[in-house]
Structure 1
Amino acid sequence: MKVALLTDCYPPRVGGIESQVADLAAHLVDDGHEVEVFTATTGPAGQSRGDVEEGPVRVHRLAEPLLRVPVNPFAVPELRRRLAAGSFDVAHVHVGVVSPFAWDAARVSTGLGLPTAITWHCVLHRATALYRASGVLARWTGRGAVLSAVSTFAAGQVRAAAPAGTQVAVLPNAIDLDRWRPHLPRSTGRDDDQYGVVAGGEGGSTAGEGGSTAGDGGPVRLVSTMRLAPRKRPLELVDAFVAAGLGDRARLAVVGDGPLRARLERRVAELPTGQVVVRGRLPREDLRALYADADGYLAPTRLEAFGIAVLEARAAGLPVVAMGGSGVDDVVDDGVSGLLVPDDAGLTRAVARLVTDDALRARMAAHNRTVPPRQVWSHVLPEVLAEYERAGAR
């Protein structure tokens, strides 16, 4: 099968859609398919304005570098020409809340009569009414497009924006389980410096087989990974952690970067030394090492379309505390692999419970280490291909 993947954002940009589309392309190629990516993101060496990167995945860089963002309203004629000439079996469009290139791509591919699958990686929220009023989904589905979203929650919002009776599939994000699965057995001590704990003092703990348990009296180590931006709520996370009143019983490491980093660091500086540390952005291997030293994962974001960071932490064997009522509900089984809460007060209570209830924490960790999540590529890739067949049948 020859597949066109169409997305505003793609590496070298860093983000959820970027990583998922790149991983999907790689897994499709490994499965024997031919894949070409069309994107409005400038390439690593400045490729743009129609430049093509050759490789296992062929990447068309239809970016306009003068705009400095992955937007190019002038790309439509060239995109249409290349899709028409490419002999593609299916086009797969990846959409965020504001995705002008993806919207253009959906219009072009459906206009060409190309079987088209459109996946939303976002929470529509207030945009639901705008989608419905614009009639754009009716036009796309009227031309044969099939719709999907990355979680049950996100799919419900797309369904509400689409014409009555429209089928919206759930096509989840996925991970390579072996990248995150805990490596057993572990015989080395935990890295105290990662959590601001003085070696040989409170944090002189040693992890048992399969991950850390903090069972030696050392502080419980919690971690959270996010873009440090208002929507992700890093300040609210620290406030909830502090409100749990755990003192020396717990430490929190916040991983990420973004516009709120300076403000977050000022807030952390007001706390007792080492209680919370801001680690900045970490490479994947360093993040895996941090998870290997951790006892739990915290996710304060509301209205999460999916929660790829939550999935990675859960795959690494960490019990998760997260806001419920979002795409995270598909990843975390409340009371089994983590705790889902309705609000910030519930977040504070759940953090305290996770830290103080050793048996609960150990039971969830054991489950997450031995029962893999279903959102792994070996399960999800066949679902993607089934969606492509659905597009072809329409």
Structure 2
Amino acid sequence: MGQGIDRRGMLAGSLALGGASLAWPRMAFARVAGSRNLLFVLLRGAADGLALLAPVEDPGFPHLRERTLPDYADARRAEGFFAIHPALDAVGAAYERGEALFVHAAATAYRERSHFDGQNLIETGGTRPYGTKDGWLNRLVALHAEAHAKAPPRALAIAPTMPLALRGAAPASSYAPSALPQASGDFMGRVAQLYAGDPQLGALLAQAMETRAMAETNDLSNLRDARAAGELAATLMREEGGARIAMIELGGWDSHANQPFQFTRAARQLDALLGAYAAGMGSAWGETLVLVATEFGRTARFNGTNGTDHGTAGAAIALGGAVAGRRVIADWPGLGDGALHEGRDLAPTLALESVLAGAVAEHFALDPKTAMARLFPGRGAAPLAGLVRG
């Protein structure tokens, strides 16, 4: 890591639970697995981790993302090395309260760049696309019931159809109100990319995409829908008989063109959803873990249409009253030309499966090794520890 920061030291230091990160008074909550809540938010379309949590102190970042530096001038800092995207205001505030942490340079075992295959693996927890039929969240429901000798916890997807992550033998249901944030396709972005080399059409399409993105950014209906989804999730989870495990999907992250506008729009939606959910959970927030992840990251360099293409490693978020926060967990690989994966992507140094398995195991008082083997079988990495307060 640049500027004298040891990249492996950051990982080791981020797992230490003492010191200033826990210096303020907090309410204590008993670790009762049956009363704890999990919300999994899947960002469909490959959210750019280098935009979500920008490594502004890495000497390679200005060379790769110089045009975005002004966006982070007054942004909240994380570990001094990173800057939280300014659209993530509620998330940044949670980080400063010690209720959120970031994981960076993380990826699943998938190393190709297909949305369909990548999403299949992050939902099933399998080792190859379409090789596993049920989802890791569904297996978590079953494992929770077995480990605690109780009826399966209620599991719910706030989605029009049951997402793959919750499909399987364990009971789960879905609920779809009329106003949920819809996943946006990347057709226009791909058209703009196709004509990027055309001096006339390329410029016109890029301008049209920018105008379209700016108009959608100012359309508060998307933010209202996101808030409504967060409020609904809280309503269905905060009571004693409510769902204990839930999932929400949020699209709009496939930023092949005009990424600064498109990412900001999607990040505002995410922030509105999470802020509304946290507020709606009330006292149950102290027993809550929210995991936010995406199928893979994006290229370190911008393309010819002011966007980014499908990449490898990215960032994830864990937040909630149960999280041991105000940390960045990263074995940072650096952004120099020799450090980039295949010369183009942020290199993966952490297994996202280890993060997910470790977090839910601690949260629900499950054996970590068993959780890793059941939820993400066939992995060599150990589940990550120290993410959740005991």
Q: Which has the higher Rg, Structure 1 or Structure 2?
A: 1
Higher RCO (CA < 8 A, seq sep 6+): 2
Question: What TM-score does the superposition give when structure 2 sets the normalisation length?
Answer: 0.29
Question: What TM-score does the superposition give when structure 1 sets the normalisation length?
Answer: 0.29
